[in-house]
Structure 1
Amino acid sequence: MPAKLVQFSGWEAVVEKQIVLKPGQAPRGRQGYTMYHGTHRNSAQAIITGGFRPSAGGTLGPGVYCSRNIAKAQGYPSGCPPGEHVVLLLKVRVGRVKKMDGQNLAMWHSWQQSGYDTAWLPSTVIGHEEDCVKDPKRVAVIGIAHCGDPATKQALEKLISQQRQGAESSGQGNEQGAMGRCKGCKMQSPIGHSLEVCWGCGATVCPFMDKHRRPGK
């Protein structure tokens, strides 16, 4: 019997149990992680409304600094009065991660040019683990983890809710990284989904869709 040419176009996914990593464990693959960022209350408001702006420098070079250890975030910014200090709760899509230690000192400020999305500094190096994310769009504010002033905390949480509702109503949740419903997989996403074009049928698809088949198949 002659062999038939079969063209594959689509997929069906099986979702495994999510793995939750502790702060001392290395980030894996392209997962999204809960992280923290310490800042002044005025800066917190600007970040919530306009997104993160990468720092010009730092231990790991320019980027957005955050940590899976809230104690690390609580130490920043130094000298900030307790009532004006805020720790933002984040969802971070780490992408390709480079582990930094004493074996690769030369890459501490050149990892971005080597195709990495995030640099990870383990707690064994500096006491508390630290991450530097190249692209601010990979970082989304989803809540307030700590705030010394209850009124400020309430105001910032209301602002986060307003930003989320605005993104949902305008359909820009995926581009801005705010909580919105993905047009492809219909999931609520705080870190954004990158929509792609199926090479088989030309339809716009999301990698997180549990199933996609060519029309008529």
Structure 2
Amino acid sequence: MPIQFSGWETYCEKSRHLKPGQEPQKSHGYIMYHGTHKSAAATIISSGFRPSSGGTLGPGVYCSRDINKAMGYPGGCAPGDRVVFKLRVRVGKVKKIDSKSMLLMHTWHQNGYDTAWLPSPVSGMEEDCVWDPKRLTVIGIAHCTDASTKSSLESLIKKQGQVQEADGRSLDQCKGCGMHTQDKHTMEKCWCCKTSVCPFMDKHVCQKS
């Protein structure tokens, strides 16, 4: 007998969408944000990030779990020209940069770390620097005041049907839940509104009253 679904919303106490002040753990994946100019957004989605040659934490791709940090970038451009990406970041081995580790502020990667984390008490708003751009995947648009640009970028994200993991495996993106997986998820019909849903979706709002 097929499983039947109606509207639902799930809650998880161990969510990896950590608050800005919580320390990231080795090898976990987290939701983060990155601000860029809208003229560069499409290229980043299609071709990936280009690491900066320098910055507060040295070379790498800068992002933050604090969306307010990302909202200020890039500096010097009009707010309406900014796009903030929602990212999934596989942090790998993380180095916390504090008063005890300032000597590693620009050399953390050479010392075996994949990501440097600068907590908010040090910088005002927390930020992360990721050495390998392949560790970041754009999964959504968190901010864009231009509705047409936002729609175009969201369509482009959806067209990126496959992502390449670090080990070279090709993963398909489920059209229902948005997860990247090797095993295709079987879509089911909501018994109430008949919408196609994925059993792995964390939320489904039934359209039929």
TM-score, normalized by length of structure 1? Answer: 0.71
- Residue 36, structure 1, aligned to residue 33, structure 2: yes
CA–CA separation in structure 1 for the residues paired with 2:33 and 2:170:
16
The letter of the residue matching 2:64 is: S
The sequence identity of aligned pairs, in percent, is 56
The letter of the residue matching 1:65 is: Y
Where does structure 1 differ by over 4 angstroms across 4 or more consecutive aligned residues?
175-179
Where 2:128 maps in the other structure, the secondary structure is: strand
Alignment CA distance shift 1:173-1:110 (3 Å): closer
Structure-2 residue corresponding to 1:140:
137
Where 2:87 maps in the other structure, the secondary structure is: strand
- Contact 1:85–1:147 (Cα < 8 Å) also in 2: yes
Alignment CA distance shift 1:91-1:83 (3 Å): same
- Residue 88, structure 1, aligned to residue 85, structure 2: yes
Where 1:102 maps in the other structure, the secondary structure is: coil
Structure of greater Rg: 1
**Deviations along 1:143-193, whole A, 9 cap, x unmatched?**
0000021111111101111122xx2xxxx543499863543xx278xxxxx
- Residue 45, structure 1, aligned to residue 57, structure 2: no
5+ residue gaps, structure 1: 1-15, 189-217
- The equivalences for 1:48-67 within 5 A come to 48-67=45-64
- The equivalences for 1:169-184 within 5 A come to 173-174=164-165, 175=168, 180=173, 181-183=180-182
Alignment CA distance shift 1:177-1:99 (3 Å): farther
Q: Indicate the structure with greater helix content.
A: 1
**Deviations along 1:2-30, whole A, 9 cap, x unmatched?**
xxxxxxxxxxxxxx963442110110121
CA–CA separation in structure 2 for the residues paired with 1:145 and 1:115:
31
Deviation at 1:83, TM superposition (A): 2.3
| Count of residues in correspondence between the two structures | 165
5+ residue gaps, structure 2: 1-11, 174-179, 186-209
Where 1:54 maps in the other structure, the secondary structure is: coil
